[in-house]
Structure 1
Amino acid sequence: MYEFKRVQAAGADINNELLKIWIARYLPEFDKISHHVRNHVEQRLRSSITDEARQATSFNINHHLESDCALAAVDTQQLLSKKLSPSPDSWELQELSIKIKQIYAVLIDSYEKSFIFSPIVDYIHVIDSEERRLEAVDLVIPHFASLMLTVGPLLRELKAVYFSSVNHHLVGFMTTQLHLTRKRILSHLTPYDCTWLVPYLHVLDELMCMPWQRICSIVPSTSNMTQSLAVARKMMPQISSISAYTYQQALQTFPKHISSQGRIQSAAVQASSLRDLNMFQAYIWLCVLEDSSSVIEKQLLPLCLQVFSLTDVQWKLVNFGVQTIIKTILEQLLPHERAIFKKQAGIIESLFLNAQPQEEQVALLQLQTSDAVDAANLTGTSN
């Protein structure tokens, strides 16, 4: 069996284990491919990323990129303009569109010319478990670091547009436009092309909205931090599966929920929901690792209140997502691990509950009461 060569991440201020967990989430989930079609799928995946295939994909995307970005900007304005008061400055919206197009162009160029997954293409047949995924990431890290160096300056320019704006709604406009642009880009591609290109587009989403770089810079300096890190390393590889479970629970609990993107059952809402649930978990683990909830209180919560109010997402659904994530994590922890996690989890739950409109608090408290027995059991075993 092929043994992946271990590579240290550049820079002493990077936690290599957390970096690997972050990057592993971008690898296609080869282990979930059915065995009876696996050989065929692997062949198609390989053929979709030859130099010629990536060049053709890049040409296809670039051919539509200007119109995709322009149409996504129009869609965003139509979606949000009635709710924005005051409306963002037209110059700021134009700058956002220009920066977004530039970043996507750079990502597509990198996909064609500096494919970060090249080192593992010949070994996808042995990436059949989470452990093997983490091992494979060692080969990807240097290429990923190079991509970050390329995209980094453009991300700072994009962030500067809304950080310098007096209109606090601009960040909601930006996240929506990013989502709609990505949706249009992917509409031109085959499923096999999407498998390899989607990670490039998700990188942009996560660098703009999630604190992964801050998470990966955490190096434990005390025994408490070491214990928190051990819990995070155990659970963070499950972020995607916990998000998927939470979304399914939301489907059952709020089957009639409709946001500005459509019904909760729609593909568009599913994609944005999974992204948001991943974001919640990234912030939750940052709080656990830093032993402080300030990053949620000062960054995530204001962002959620802005964006979800603009897109007609009910706050009780947001709260349900946070509650379900925390409950699901607690159920998978050992008693001593729960004690570590619950210190920040309880504060985070309270922050979201207290932030919601007053009229929704009673309904949510009733929903929480229905889970009282399970919560009591978890509390009892964590002492």
Structure 2
Amino acid sequence: MLKASEITKTPSSERLLNLWARRYTPEVSFLLGDSSSCDELLKAAAPQGRESTTNKLKDKMLDINCQMGWIQTKNLYSYIPNVLDLTEARRITKFAFRVYRKLLEIYQQQSSKIEVENNSLSQWVIPAVEELAYALEPILIVFQEQHVASKDWRSLGFMTSQLNFTNKLMLKRLTKVEQVLLAPYFKFVEEQVAMPWQRVCSHAANYELNSPELKLVEQMMPNSPEIAQSVYRKLTELLPNNRSRRGKLTDNGISHSCIRDLNMFQAYILLCFLEQNMEPIEQELVPLCAMVVEGVEIKWELTKNWCEVLANEIESRLDSAQKDLIKPYTQGMKQAFFKERRSLGCKEEMAAEVV
């Protein structure tokens, strides 16, 4: 869940900001070694090129894509009767339109520093990720509030799905090089409403640069996508027949959601770790998961294994001293979900304690 937060600039927070920005490194592998593609990319990244890209997604087309994104989201959750009425759908679509219009304004204003060496592209990321976060924060919070205010609380869980569908629809209207440049911005929006990386960076300001706590977070942040992939693979092996109302765990749409949510869980664990309390997980993550579980009918077996495998995967990548630091929060996550198991799909009383 997105909450307003300001990042105090310190060497520690700057270091995490750089790691956060790296999550939005464009995928350029298919362009490497191709001089013509490099030239196209440089043109698309120039101010005139960015203006041309945003013109393809101007108001009318943007509105259509936001509406189509909502329709696809509704279809995805069609098994839930009367999810949202027409008035609510129009209101939420209107605010989605505002989110993307603001994002495209920022994209056109920012400039990527791209260098080509020996027909190869050097890596780059979204410039000034914290500025992007601050610029989008007010409108994203209002967008989030529209879902929260819906008559059906389950619509809160649809927000990231709507953003994901709209992202895909809009990218289809662009050339490959334009997609390379704009996709990281779309990914940022989808993650920003769900993952508290901004708050993680904010709390880093409370730690010295060489503190063991900051070093642990520095180590784990870049590894979170790989950890999410690994945990997801293990879950599909453990529970090959697991199903919810959306389908099987291995279905394409569900795999995207699972990997995104495993990244979200890691962000919350690191946030609790830096805050030195479990409130973000207990008061934000668990209630959000309870909403999704009830609407989608996710079995407790999956949630229980999800927490167990994720905690083990995180701890396995740390040395003994680091494990001692993080365990109160990985194990605390397991305990928080176990405590609320009744609202998380557990039908029978469980006598065993979470270790």
Per the TM superposition, whether the score is higher than 0.5 is yes
Q: Report the residue type matching 1:238 in the other structure.
A: N
Quick one: which amino acid aligns to residue 286 of structure 2? Answer: L
Seen in structure 2, the aligned counterparts of structure 1 residues 93 and 200 have a Cα distance that, compared at 3 Å, is same
| Match of residue 130 from structure 1 | none
Moved more, 206-215 or 51-60: 51-60
- Partners of 1:361 and 1:230 lie apart in 2 by 40
1:47 Cα deviation after fit: 5.2
State TM-score, norm by structure 2. Answer: 0.81
Q: 1:269 to 1:173 in 2, by over 3 A?
A: closer
Correspondence 1:1-383 to 2 at 5 A: 11-12=8-9, 15-28=13-26, 33=29, 38-40=32-34, 43=38, 45-46=41-42, 48-62=44-58, 64-80=61-77, 82-83=79-80, 87-88=83-84, 90-111=86-107, 113-116=108-111, 118-122=112-116, 125=120, 127=122, 140-141=127-128, 144-165=129-150, 167-219=152-204, 221=206, 226-259=211-244, 261-354=246-339, 355=341, 356-359=344-347
SS at 2:45's partner residue? Answer: coil
Contact 1:259–1:311 at 8 Å: present in 2 too?
Answer: yes
AA matched with 1:95: R
Question: Any idea what the Cα deviations from partners look like across 1:165-214, whole Å, max 9, x if unmatched?
Answer: 56432312333322322232233345443332221112212221111221
Give CA-to-partner distance per residue, 1:344-380, whole Å, 9 cap, x none.
Answer: 1111112223423224787xx8xx9xxxxxx9xxxxx
Are the aligned partners of 1:15 and 1:219 in contact in 2 as well (CA < 8 Å)? yes
Task: Give the Å deviation of 1:280.
Answer: 0.9
* Comparing 245-254 and 292-301, the one that deviates more: 245-254
3-state DSSP of counterpart to 1:99: helix
Greater CA drift, 297-306 or 46-55: 46-55
Structure 1 unaligned segments of length 5 or more: list them: 1-8, 128-132, 369-374, 376-383
- SS at the partner of 1:320? helix
Amino acid at match of 1:281: Q
TM-score of the aligned structures, taking structure 1 as reference length:
0.75
SS in 2 for 1:28: coil
User: Residues 71 and 29 of structure 1: is their aligned pair in 2 closer, same or farther, counting only changes over 3 Å?
Assistant: closer
Partner SS for 2:32 = helix
Aligned with 1:26: secondary structure?
coil
Q: Provide closer, same or farther for how the CA distance between residues 330 and 148 of structure 1 changes in structure 2, counting only shifts above 3 A.
A: closer
Check conservation: 1:210, 1:283, Cα contact below 8 A: yes
Contact 1:79 1:260 in 2 (8 A): no
In the aligned structure 2, how far is the partner of 1:250 from the partner of 1:212?
25
Distance 1:50 1:258, change over 3 A: farther
- Return the offset for 1:162: 3.6
Match of 2:3 in 1: none
Count of residue pairs brought into register by the alignment: 341
Aligned residues of 2:56 and 2:173 also touching (Cα < 8 A): yes
The answer to whether the 8 A contact 2:16-2:204 is kept is no
The 1:265/1:188 distance shift into structure 2, 3 A limit, reads farther
Superposition CA RMSD, Å: 3.5
Q: Is the 8 A contact 2:110 2:127 kept in 1?
A: no
1:157 deviates by 2.1
How far, CA to CA, are the matches of 1:172 and 1:16 in structure 2? Answer: 32
**Distance between the aligned counterparts of 2:280 and 2:153, measured in 1?**
18
Counterpart secondary structure, 2:338 = helix
1:380 alignment counterpart = none
